[in-house]
Amino acid sequence: MNLLKPSFILISAAMALPIHANTLDDAKAIQNKTNAASAASQQKIDKSSNAAIELQAEIEQLSEQVKNLEVYRNHLQALVDNQQQEMVSLDKQIEEIKDTRQGIVPLMYQMIDGLQTTLEQDKPIRLQARTERLEQLKSLMPRADVSDAEKFRRILEAYQIEMDYGRKLGSYQGQVALSDNDSVDADILYLGRVALIARNPNATQYWTWNQAQKQWQGLDSSYKTNLDTAYSLASKQIAPTLVTLPVSLVNAEAN
């Protein structure tokens, strides 16, 4: 009986070993599954965290874009408001221009009539050039291809030239009609509207314009020296100096 007992114990231990081995394998498998599940969960967490960070960055970027768009929208609104104000101002200016144009056109015709009157009553200084300029202005007025501003500029330019005739010493070549209706070539000299002198080309004869009688009158030789000096001054051949010239003033001009 004693020999059989150890054998039974050994058989029992041998039968228990496979059971214990299966339990360890199952535990390891569970542990591996748990680790794998934990790793997968951690990957999901990391992925979700990265996605959350990217989403937050995108939200912040969109918020910044929204702010910029609001600033740009306000800027555009300010531009639109300003343009509307400009449109109102331009409409008002257009109406004012229409009124001004209605007033400026008659004024230009009056100014041309004034030039005509001046030409008829004034001394015949550069008479041909002034007459041609006046006719050009008259023909310019009805032209549709020329702006009113340009027409007005040309009229003002003519007035400026007329003013220059009244305050300058100058000379030019032209023709003078003598009292016997003979026309002669002459060098014509003017000192403002005070003196108007004519000299034949060889400087042997001189005439002065008589404004009261509207005709040329001969001058004696006593004026020759001063007259020749005046011609030299007008052509800038000598330095400024004093000269004596015959003048012709009607009673209204003398007063």
pTM for this entry: 0.59
* Lowest-pLDDT range of 114-128, 170-184, 191-205: 170-184
Higher pLDDT, 160 or 101: 160
- Opening angle at CA 134, ends 124 and 140, nearest 5: 170
Q: What is the pLDDT of residues 65-80, one digit of tens each?
A: 888 888 888 888 888 8
- In this predicted structure, what is the pLDDT of residue 113? 96
DSSP state letters, 127-163: HHHHHHHHHHHHHHTT-TTS-HHHHHHHHHHHHHHHH
- Of 155-169, 191-205, 214-228, 235-249, the range with the lowest mean pLDDT is 235-249
Whole-angstrom distance, CA of residue 9 vs CA of residue 6: 5
Closest CA to 233 of 184, 168, 180: 168
Task: Compute CA 197 distance to the chain's CA centroid, rounded to the nearest angstrom.
Answer: 47
The residue ranking higher by pLDDT, 44 or 199, is: 199
How large a percentage of the chain has pLDDT more than 70?
87
Whether pLDDT at 165 is above 60: yes
Which is more confident, 58 or 160?
A: 160
Instruction: Say which DSSP state 180 is in.
Output: T
pLDDT per residue as tens digits for the range 221-237: 888 999 999 999 999 89
Between the alpha carbon of residue 213 and those of residues 123, 125, 167, 217, the distances in Å are 11, 16, 23, 10
Lowest mean pLDDT among 67-71, 111-115, 149-153: 67-71
Q: What pLDDT is recorded for position 54?
A: 84
**Model confidence at 29: pLDDT above 70:** yes
pLDDT band at 144 (very low <50, low <70, confident <90, very high): very high
